[in-house]
């Protein structure tokens, strides 16, 4: 068939960015002449795109000459063996006086994108070949390549760039994913899956085919494998790893809670107690994990005092251990502030005040960071002897490869500071002004009294 010049001009202008916005007209019937021509011409054109598509069927959708630009734009619908149907756009030069051959410009668009109606009418690039009748099934090999457990129940095209195409898929197991493929739609190339739970509802990129609450039901299934006695009261998604593992926090009606991890296929992989989960996305927030153990109070009192931290231990939380030693949070009966201790197998340990505890990757839960204000005041005074700062508020703002940083605000009119705690020491070595902090470590101050207005 021959498309009108106006129609193809609109497509040529828009299809490179959004083929779904192309000029709309009645869905074309398959013209046998164009069918045969497409079958003859499309294989070489598709091969030139580098997509790896083995052409099973093809149709010339239409073409138009642009005398001013000296080009001919042609559109071919292609059905591929074991892959997604697509429309290939070829822009060829018709300038016979050009000093050298001008290479064709090729672009590929998937049949999901071109199936979206425009103005209530079929899209002029809608795929019509029988093999492309259900464009959604063309995503099956991409889901398989991504390695996720998903029987597709719905799908949509999100859009594409010069290098990638993006799709949303909803699955029968209530999971949902955004898939990133190559722009040439080659299922043999890398396919990047991202859980829909990574994207907030209503964001610039978000999933609309799956409800967030439905997607979170997977946490209930994982919780049943981790602890059959847990009646799930609340749950939340935490993160996905590069390897495809997913982390969820679960709170039980009994008051207990834990994290669960699923493998890329969605199967239960492991359970992590909240007491040992501080290094994972900020730790547990749905469960009260302030309950302290007391059985080894005397032992930890002895270890703390031997390391120079005067604490009559009234409670503790073990956080983690390895071949080198253990990390433990201490609550003290003789002082309001506790600490997080890093204790090796041999020798003395290091004890970080609770404001700086996250330098180690853990955080205090038995005592509040504010209880360490007196120690923070002393740290500022040691680094800046002329300072009159009495610390009134603190905030851990981040860590680098070798240090952690704690912002402090002062009760008087003195500007706040950022204290630097080396990971090899529990003592602050520097007190940076907020302006210095922004310049030297790329982290500025955020406490209300430290923000310069105007």
pLDDT for 124: 84
Q: What is the mean pLDDT of residues 225-229?
A: 93
Query: What is the domain partition of the chain in residue ranges?
Result: 5-133, 137-210, 213-276, 297-365, 371-450
Q: Which residue has the higher pLDDT, 301 or 5?
A: 301
Mean pLDDT of 319-329: 81
Q: What is the pLDDT of residues 100-142, one digit of tens each?
A: 888 899 999 999 998 888 777 888 889 999 999 999 999 999 9
pLDDT of residue 203: 67
SS3 391: strand
Q: How far apart are CA 406 and CA 445, in angstroms?
A: 10
pLDDT band at 453 (very low <50, low <70, confident <90, very high): low
Question: Residue 17 has what pLDDT?
Answer: 39
For 261-278, give the DSSP string: EE-TTS-EEEEEEGGG-T
pLDDT at 43: 95
Q: Is the pLDDT of residue 332 over 60?
A: yes
Q: What is the pLDDT of residues 164-201, one digit of tens each?
A: 999 999 999 888 999 999 988 998 999 988 889 888 77
| 204: its two tokens | 């610039």
- In this predicted structure, what is the pLDDT of residue 137? 92
- The per-residue pLDDT of the chain, averaged, comes to 86
Which residue in the block uniquely carries the two structure tokens 């699923």? Answer: 262
Predicted pLDDT of residue 303: 93
Under 8 Å CB-to-CB from 275, ≥6 apart: which residues?
A: 289, 317, 318, 319
pTM: 0.60
Give 198-201's long-range contacts (Cβ < 8 A, gap of 24+). Answer: 198/237, 198/240
Is residue 183 within 8 A of residue 160, CB to CB? The reply is yes
- Residue 285 and residue 249 in contact, taking contact as beta carbons nearer than 8 Å: yes
């Amino acid at each position: 068939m021959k498309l009108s010049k106006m129609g193809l001009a609109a497509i040529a202008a828009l299809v490179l960015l959004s083929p779904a916005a192309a000029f709309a007209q009645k869905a074309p019937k398959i013209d046998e002449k164009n069918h045969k021509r497409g079958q003859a011409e499309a294989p070489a054109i598709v091969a030139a795109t580098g997509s790896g598509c083995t052409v099973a069927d093809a149709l010339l959708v239409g073409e138009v000459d642009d005398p001013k630009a000296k080009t001919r734009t042609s559109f071919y619908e292609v059905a591929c063996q074991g892959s997604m149907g697509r429309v290939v756009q070829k822009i060829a030069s018709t300038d016979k006086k050009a000093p050298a051959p001008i290479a064709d410009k090729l672009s590929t668009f998937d049949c999901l994108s071109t199936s979206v109606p425009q103005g209530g009418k079929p899209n002029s690039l809608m795929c019509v070949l029988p093999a492309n009748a259900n464009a959604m099934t063309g995503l099956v090999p991409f889901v398989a390549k991504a390695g996720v457990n998903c029987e597709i129940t719905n799908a949509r095209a999100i859009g594409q760039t010069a290098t990638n195409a993006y799709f949303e898929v909803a699955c029968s197991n209530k999971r949902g994913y955004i898939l990133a493929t190559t722009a040439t739609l080659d299922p043999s190339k890398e396919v990047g899956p991202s859980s829909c739970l990574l994207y907030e509802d209503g964001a610039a990129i978000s999933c609309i085919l799956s409800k967030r609450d439905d997607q979170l039901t997977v946490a209930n299934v994982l919780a049943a494998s981790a602890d059959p006695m847990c009646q799930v009261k609340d749950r939340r998604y935490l993160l996905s790893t590069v390897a495809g593992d997913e982390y969820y926090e679960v709170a039980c009606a009994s008051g207990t809670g834990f994290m669960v991890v699923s493998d890329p296929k969605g199967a239960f992989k492991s359970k992590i107690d909240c007491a040992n989960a501080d290094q994972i996305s900020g730790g547990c927030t749905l469960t009260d994990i302030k309950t302290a153990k007391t059985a080894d109070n005397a032992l930890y009192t002895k270890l703390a005092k031997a390391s120079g931290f005067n604490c009559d231990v009234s409670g503790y939380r073990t956080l983690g251990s390895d071949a080198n030693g253990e990390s433990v949070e201490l609550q003290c009966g003789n002082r309001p502030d506790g600490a997080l201790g890093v204790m090796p197998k041999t020798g003395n340990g290091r004890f970080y005040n609770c404001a700086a505890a996250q330098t180690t990757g853990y955080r205090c839960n038995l005592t509040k960071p504010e209880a360490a204000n007196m120690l923070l005041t002393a740290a500022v005074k040691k680094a800046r002897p002329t300072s009159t700062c009495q610390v009134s508020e603190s905030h851990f703002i981040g860590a680098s490869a070798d240090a952690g940083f704690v912002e402090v605000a002062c009760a008087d009119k003195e500007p706040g500071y950022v204290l630097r705690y080396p990971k090899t020491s529990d003592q602050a070595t520097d007190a940076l002004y907020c302006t210095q902090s922004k310049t030297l470590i790329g982290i500025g101050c955020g406490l209300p009294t430290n923000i310069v207005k105007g």
